[in-house]
Amino acid sequence: MKIGDEKPKIFSKLMAYSILYRLILINYIDIVSSGGYAYHLWLVAMYFAPFVIFSLVDLKDWKLTVSLGLISSLMNDIFYGLIVYLVGKSIDLFWYYKLWLIPHNELLFDLNFGVFRIPVFSWMMALSIYSRIVLVYMLIKKWKMEKSAIGLQKLKRSR
């Protein structure tokens, strides 16, 4: 096995961890928590906390850090309603997905950042979800291209 063969496996494991971390751990906390002071600020920190080490080790990996954190946030916004339903709480999944994924002018909740709150409307949530999907795709693609270019440069130098 070549050393380069490990990178796709590691990347796949990171993606799986990002998805499962948010689906299971953070969604559970989100369901059982009643919120609290600066709750959404805490959630944002939790999205990115496990992945910051990549940027601390190599600042060039900031695209990977941001991508994995955004994937975690998407797992909350896209699957929170389903997870609530699966744990046995009452939720109208049609209502949830209609308002989260199809833009409407209905107030969903207030983002609680402690000293200030931001009202979040359906159209904002939908725009946020679709924008994050595009941003994650672009960041991962760019990060992979940069890593491939670095690998080629190292290979050329070793010859």
Q: Is 156 exposed, middle or buried (0-12, 13-18, 19+ CB in 10 A)?
A: exposed
Q: How many domains does the chain have?
A: 1
Q: Give backbone dihedrals phi and psi of 157, rounded to 5 degrees, phi first.
A: -70, -30
Query: Which 8-state DSSP code applies to residue 104?
Result: -
Q: 99-128: buried (b, 16+ CB within 10 Å) or exposed (e) per residue?
A: bbeeeeeeebeebbeeeeeeeebbebbbee
pLDDT beneath 50: ranges in the chain: 1-5, 155
- Quote the pTM value: 0.80
Residue 58 sits in which domain range?
A: 3-158
| Residue 46: per-residue pLDDT | 84
